[in-house]
Amino acid sequence: MTATIIDGKAAAAGVRARVAEIAADFAKRTGRQPGLATVLVGEDPASAVYVRSKGKATSEAGMASFSHKLPDTTSEAELLALVDQLNRDDAVDGILVQLPLPPQIDASRVIAEIDPAKDVDGFHPVNAGRLATGLEALVPCTPYGCLYLLKQQLGSLAGREAVVIGRSNIVGKPMALLLIGESATVTVAHSRTKDLPDVVRRADIVVAAVGRPEMVKGDWIKPGAVVIDVGINRIPTDDGKSRLVGDVDFAGASENAAAITPVPGGVGPMTIAMLLRNTVVAAHRRAAMPDPEGV
Ligand code: NDP
């Protein structure tokens, strides 16, 4: 079998186009654009690139983008004060504090300070708890993007065997909760899992979120499975440059899977699309309007 390649760029473009329509409709009805504030502390080049592309995508979707750049000497109290100011700013529907933060700042304290109604990353304990208990929540963008791709590929996920590799609060755990919410039968694997290849071999759905280049081998994949590769790993190439690979051996897995996401061009573009989606959803909920449809 040669797998269908799941085009995350195309799926993300569809979500972003729909978000732009929703944002325009919101602006017409309320007299203001939905707004996303990004906060970058320090000079980490990868974080700066992420924040810039999030800001650009926000503006392209017809939303207000507020960018805050702070020096890497910023104290926790100063950052908490900015978050507090953004919590009280009515033009701001979503607050995104780019991680990682410098060592003098406790990221969990900062996340806990964000108004859960504006927590478009879905990392606040209130949103994590709401997702875990099946209540309306803002859901972390990357797993929500994975779920979107899975549903687009498979339709109903009910009764399917899903294996999530990785149990982080950002990807693995919320992914497992979303799959449970779709009535899949879910196994969460991690670094202490025994016989990982055998665990993966029983899966109709594999979500790999580990951070280890090409760890999941092609012969671990059950014929016909759908594989979602969240991993982003930079590895050196022979010519002294580097390239991005996922957590899955793409060539090997493509021989067994029915469908698979590439890296890059799979899950990555969905993450920003879902951030925009969460921002328009937050704007609607804050304005006591029903959730927008179609995203
Ligand atoms: P974390 O490092 O927080 O979590 C990694 C998880 O993988 C942990 O649960 C760990 O287990 C598990 N793990 C590590 N080694 C093994 C192993 N040998 N076998 C099985 N499980 C293992 O990473 P994140 O969840 O934040 O990110 C995972 C990957 O996804 C990274 O490559 C990251 O760059 C990428 N990513 C991509 C995004 C995107 O937009 N596409 C967004 C976010 C992340 P344990 O808990 O036991 O330590």
Cα separation of 21 and 33, whole Å?
12
Digit-coded pLDDT (tens) for 268-279: 999 999 999 999
What pLDDT, on a 0 to 100 scale, did the predictor assign at position 85?
A: 98
What pLDDT, on a 0 to 100 scale, did the predictor assign at position 290?
A: 97
Cα separation of 93 and 117, whole Å?
8
Cα separation of 206 and 247, whole Å?
11
Mutate to test the pocket of ligand 1, among 47, 191, 212, 247 (most ligand atoms within 8 A of CB): 191
The DSSP result for 152-172, as a single string, is: HHHS--TT-EEEEE---TTTH
Tokens 């280890």 map to which residue? 212
Q: What is the widest separation between alpha-carbon atoms in the chain?
A: 57
> Is the overall model pTM greater than 0.85, yes or no?
yes
What pLDDT, on a 0 to 100 scale, did the predictor assign at position 86?
A: 99
Give the pocket of ligand 1 (CB within 6 Å).
142, 165-168, 170-172, 189-193, 196, 209-212, 230-233, 267-268, 271
| Cβ-contact 189, 162 below 8 angstroms | no
258 confidence band (pLDDT: 50, 70, 90): very high
Nearest to 232 by CA among 179, 271, 197: 271
Instruction: Give the mean model confidence (pLDDT) for residues 144-173.
Output: 98
Cα separation of 129 and 116, whole Å?
11
213 is written with which tokens?
């280049």
Mutate to test the pocket of ligand 1, among 168, 198, 206, 245 (most ligand atoms within 8 A of CB): 168
23 confidence band (pLDDT: 50, 70, 90): very high
Nearest to 268 by CA among 57, 23, 64: 57
Q: Counting every residue, how long is the chain?
A: 295
Digit-coded pLDDT (tens) for 103-155: 999 999 999 999 999 999 999 999 999 999 999 999 999 999 999 999 999 99
What pLDDT, on a 0 to 100 scale, did the predictor assign at position 242?
A: 95
Tell me how far the alpha carbon of residue 32 lies from the centroid of ligand 1, in angstroms. Answer: 38
What pLDDT, on a 0 to 100 scale, did the predictor assign at position 201?
A: 98
Closest atom, ligand 1, to C-alpha of 266: 41
Cα separation of 156 and 34, whole Å?
32
What pLDDT, on a 0 to 100 scale, did the predictor assign at position 28?
A: 98
What are the residues whose beta carbons fall under 8 Å from the beta carbon of 231, sequence distance 6 or more? 208, 209, 210, 211, 212, 213, 245, 246, 247, 248, 263
Per residue in 163-185, is it b (16+ CB within 10 Å) or e — as a string?
Answer: bbbbbbebbbbbbbbbbbebebb
Cα separation of 202 and 207, whole Å?
13
What pLDDT, on a 0 to 100 scale, did the predictor assign at position 280?
A: 98
| Cβ-contact 147, 179 below 8 angstroms | yes
For residue 43, CA distances in Å to 56, 76, 111, 222 come to: 19, 17, 20, 43
| Cβ-contact 205, 179 below 8 angstroms | yes
Cα separation of 267 and 11, whole Å?
10
Digit-coded pLDDT (tens) for 200-245: 999 999 999 999 999 999 999 999 999 999 999 999 999 999 999 9
What pLDDT, on a 0 to 100 scale, did the predictor assign at position 106?
A: 98
Residue identifier of the C-alpha nearest atom 47 of ligand 1: 191
Tell me how far the alpha carbon of residue 254 lies from the centroid of ligand 1, in angstroms. Answer: 21
What pLDDT, on a 0 to 100 scale, did the predictor assign at position 249?
A: 98
Q: Is the pLDDT of residue 1 over 80?
A: no
What pLDDT, on a 0 to 100 scale, did the predictor assign at position 132?
A: 98
What pLDDT, on a 0 to 100 scale, did the predictor assign at position 149?
A: 98
